[in-house]
Structure 1
């Protein structure tokens, strides 16, 4: 019986090692494919070499005589891969797309905060626009609230989420954490795992960053929802300052975006930890489309209607946004519930 158990344990251990080799090899091949040398032939050759080495290590697992040597050789190879990987560094010096070409930053003087390079593009279509940026000073004592924006384009589980900070006088400053793409570069969820995009704070007027999604993006079209968050204004001020610190940090030291761990929604949750009353982590934060529902379940939305479906219905702003005649009225009109059924 003991021999049988020992053999079973060895078989399970070898199976687990095999799975680890497959996972490590797959990661290595993709990492080199996306982040490897610029020369296509060299990059493909290195990726192929990793695939062959992984296959050889799997074969070696089944040969008792070669098992130790093949595992040791594979560990050396993988250590080399990791060493190279951690030397792939982000940069602020690339040929950026126009909409992410200018880094925002803030100067803080007590309760007065000046945000530099606020984006305010005049769109004629998603790709046809007049670029513009400006600076504006905000008084933290005049913060009136914080809104969550959730934009959907591929089903209920995935959304792009960002915050908009409301100040007295109808001022709204939206901050959307996104990928910083180079000219000619498109977003890819898979590439987002492999250090292909820098992290970027889009700091913009709502008539830029929200109106772009409600009025101009059609391939695919986006459904945009706006929710007022429930919480103290002091918490909102701390969260706003935390955003500004994060924004300034990227100006001095760029970071990589990551599809799973460093994205639009996880960065909101990480920033919100500056307040002790932040909501606990949940799988719904990773499945970002469920974040509004998760906030509703935790009593963090001002609209606590009889059901989340009803709250979500009132939060949909596409029709209101498309009915705005002048972009100067945009923020007020998308919040006008009297227009809900029009």
Structure 2
């Protein structure tokens, strides 16, 4: 029995080492694919060579019944992690036009002055008028906060934004986004491998919502939040603080841990420490169900009815240029 247990233990250990090697080896291949310096050919070469080396070590270990390849692989992986640790975020790159300016804010009493509020006029994704503005907002006149969700495919995936409204009819939207370099395309997998920095954009609704509904053919929903004025004010100021922090300390975007929803949750958590965690904070398409559950939106009607009422896509597309876009998307 003792010999049998030893054999089972050896098999379990080998299986565990095999699994760890496979997972870490796959991570290493993807890390090299997305972050190795150079062009696509260099990325592919580094990733393929790494994969072949890992496979060769595994075959050698199995064929020769030797632990030496495991030690060699451990040294390879330590070297890879050493290189990975050298990757640092930066605000100094050749950025795409729509994320070329960093938002910052200055707070004087109730008055908040935002520098670099985006107000582009979009005709296509590649044809637009560039406008970066400095705007001031009096938080004593803050009257609403709306969660805006934009879907482009799967019902489980959406981009979440927060729009704040004032009693003069103005709205400003805060959106946590990837900061793409010029000519770069978004990759959700690349978001796991430090491919992008994070940026907090403040923009006019006729820019940041209209471009999604009218140019990119996304499907947008606006959910008025049940939030008292002190909480709205605190959340607004949290966005300003986050923007200023990103100016001083750039951060990498992460598809899971540092995305458009998890960062909002972390800010809201500072305001309400009792706010519960939920997997729907990761699957952002289901965020309305979470908001409904915690009472942040109207609970007097079922979530499906609330979702139908929240859809603004057609209203946005039917709003002509020059019209009051914010009023149009909130029309009954």
TM-score band, normalised by the shorter chain? over 0.9
* Of 312-321 and 274-283, the range deviating more from structure 2: 274-283
Q: Which runs of 5+ in 2 are unaligned?
A: none
| Aligned counterparts of 1:42 and 1:213: Cα–Cα separation in 2 | 34
After TM superposition, the structure 1 = structure 2 runs for residues 149-164 of structure 1, keeping only pairs within 5 Å, are 149-164=148-163
Matched residues in 2 for 1:202 and 1:107: separation? Answer: 16
Secondary structure of the corresponding residue to residue 25 of structure 1: helix
Q: Deviations over 1:93-142 (max 9, x none)?
A: 11111111111111122221100010001122232111101111112222
Matched, 1:307 2:306: no
SS of 2:271 mapped into structure 1: coil
Pairing of 1:120-135 with structure 2 (within 5 A): 120-135=119-134
Does the 8 Å CA contact 1:18/1:61 hold for their aligned counterparts? no
Structure-2 separation of matches of 1:226 and 1:278: 25
In structure 2, do the counterparts of structure 1 residues 139 and 173 end up closer, same or farther at CA, with 3 Å as the change threshold? same
The equivalences for 1:131-142 within 5 A come to 131-142=130-141
Q: 1:284 to 1:62 in 2, by over 3 A?
A: same
Q: How has the CA–CA distance of structure 1 residues 45 and 122 changed in structure 2, closer, same or farther, with 3 Å as cutoff?
A: closer
Gaps of 5+ in 1: 338-342
DSSP 3-state at the match of 2:112: strand
* Residue 329 (structure 1) aligns with: 324
Q: What displacement does 1:250 show?
A: 1.1
| Deviation sequence 1:265-317 (CA, Å, 0-9, x none) | 1111111111125531111111110001111122110x324211100000000
Q: Look up the match of 1:98.
A: 97
Q: Look up the match of 2:6.
A: 6
Report the counterpart of residue 340 of structure 1 in structure 2. Answer: none
Change over 3 Å in CA distance of 1:151–1:169 after alignment to 2: same
Q: CA deviation at 1:148?
A: 0.3
Aligned length, in residue pairs: 332
SS at match of 1:32: helix
CA distance in 2, matches of 1:132, 1:34: 32
Contact 1:239/1:272 (8 A) holds in 2: yes
| Residue aligning to 1:23 | 23
Q: CA-to-partner distance for each residue in 1:206-243, whole Å, 9 max, x for gaps?
A: 011011112222xxx21100001112221121111111
Distance in 2 (alpha carbons) for counterparts of 1:4 and 1:64: 22
Which of 237, 242, 257 is the aligned partner of 1:241?
237
Q: Is 1:290 matched up with 2:289?
A: no
Q: TM-score, normalised by structure 1?
A: 0.92
Deviation at residue 154 of structure 1 after TM alignment: 0.8
Tell me if structure 2 keeps the 8 A contact 1:305–1:311.
no
Which residues of 2 match residues 225-240 of structure 1 at below 5 A? 225-240=221-236
The structural deviation recorded for 1:151 is 0.7
Query: Do the aligned residues in 2 keep the contact of 1:224 with 1:316 (CA within 8 Å)?
Result: yes
Q: Per the alignment, in what secondary structure is the counterpart of residue 276 of structure 2?
A: coil
Distance 1:97 1:223, change over 3 A: same
Indicate the residue corresponding to 2:209 in structure 1: 210
For residues 317 and 296 of structure 2, what CA distance do their matches in structure 1 show? 28
The Cα of 1:61 is off from its aligned counterpart by 4.3
Written as runs of structure 1 = structure 2, the 5 A alignment for 1:244-283 is 244-276=240-272, 279-283=275-279
Q: Distance in 2 between matches of 1:60 and 1:214?
A: 55
- Could you tell me how far apart the structure 2 residues matched to 1:271 and 1:157 are? 23
Superposition CA RMSD, Å: 1.7
Q: Give the TM-score of the pair, scaled to structure 2.
A: 0.95
Instruction: Summarize the Cα distance change of 1:327–1:305 in structure 2 as closer, same or farther, 3 Å threshold.
Output: farther
Q: Is residue 207–residue 328 contact of structure 1 (8 Å, CA) maintained in 2?
A: no
Q: What is the DSSP-based 3-state SS (H/G/I as helix, E as strand, rest coil) of the residue aligned with 1:262?
A: coil
Describe the shift of the 1:283–1:146 C-alpha distance in structure 2 as closer, same or farther (beyond 3 A).
Answer: same
